[in-house]
Structure 1
């Protein structure tokens, strides 16, 4: 059986350790809704996002990114039932002796540590799908649109094609 060739998901010749803002999406393996629940409000009340135990674990690991990497800032994020969106910035200081971590290094460490911590709650083999999606933020308008998308993601969950409760 011949394996399908995967298309590269990173921008060719782009330095993913350079200063900038990045929008990251990480999906749960098989898109299982194990991170949170979205409880639909009554009447005009907005939906409420309630983190499940794995989601709480993920929240802690997202918050630890700024501690683990002094040049990483988490500006916004949302932990959906089966995926995570993170808006982060890399802010390198000039003249540093050691190389800065790339977005890939940061996400790889995040996924690995999150999986280890979640395994303490329940035995799981694989928490996340292989790889992740990234989008390099190009300007302030792009940044504001991504911010709004993250904030509105729970509201639009009922329409999401990966919502298994539809």
Structure 2
């Protein structure tokens, strides 16, 4: 009996890019199945609280423009310069750590992915506690990111974030606009 090949998910990240590098990153995170979860004010407040708590939890981050939409979140995250020694993995007694188990997904500490993973996890835990639905997905798998390369690009993204609520009726993430 032959089994069909396991389909590998294609990464949407820039191949070879180090997402621990200092700089600005524009991220979009969508709710599971694009549900209008954040139409509910108390869930929207959870997202706000967790976003702003992230800066105190993760000193390598600086947060910029941010908005919670009914079924997605946009934000700009800055990864700031850190001491290179802090970025090197260290095991017991200062020795190199044991190799990672290949079955576990690896997220580089102090990276954009580590921030998004922690943010999504914290929001999920709190939202599910409020609605008494443990284990229910809040977010779609993965997230969208854009490395911000110029001041003009940064300012355009900031304006996009500010304008986004006003333009919700035309937004491609608005279920009313889906075919």
Q: TM-score range by the shorter chain?
A: 0.7 to 0.9
Number of aligned residue pairs: give it.
152
Q: Which residue of 1 aligns with 2:167?
A: 156
User: Which segments of 5 or more consecutive residues in structure 1 lack a partner in the other structure?
Assistant: 37-50
Q: Which residue of 2 aligns with 1:26?
A: 29
Higher helix share: 2
CA contact (8 A) 2:38 2:68 kept: yes
- TM score, norm. by length of structure 2: 0.79
Over the aligned positions, Cα root-mean-square deviation in angstroms equals 1.7
Q: Residue 68 of structure 1: CA displacement?
A: 0.8
CA shift digits 1:46-96 (9 cap, x unpaired): xxxxx6111100100000110110110111100000000011101123354
Q: Residue 160 of structure 1: CA displacement?
A: 1.4
Distance in 1 between residues matched to 2:65 and 2:55, nearest whole Å: 12
Q: Residue 152 of structure 1: CA displacement?
A: 0.4
Q: Which residue of 2 aligns with 1:47?
A: none
CA contact (8 A) 2:60 2:79 kept: yes
Q: Is it true that 1:146 corresponds to 2:146 in the alignment? A: no
Q: Is it true that 1:64 corresponds to 2:14 in the alignment? A: no
Distance in 2 between residues matched to 1:95 and 1:19, nearest whole Å: 12
SS at match of 2:158: helix
Q: Which residue of 1 aligns with 2:63?
A: 74
Higher strand share: 1
Distance in 1 between residues matched to 2:151 and 2:117, nearest whole Å: 27
Distance in 2 between residues matched to 1:95 and 1:130, nearest whole Å: 30
CA shift digits 1:90-142 (9 cap, x unpaired): 11233543445110011001101110111121033000000000000011011
Matches within 5 A, 1:111-150: 111-124=120-133, 125-150=136-161
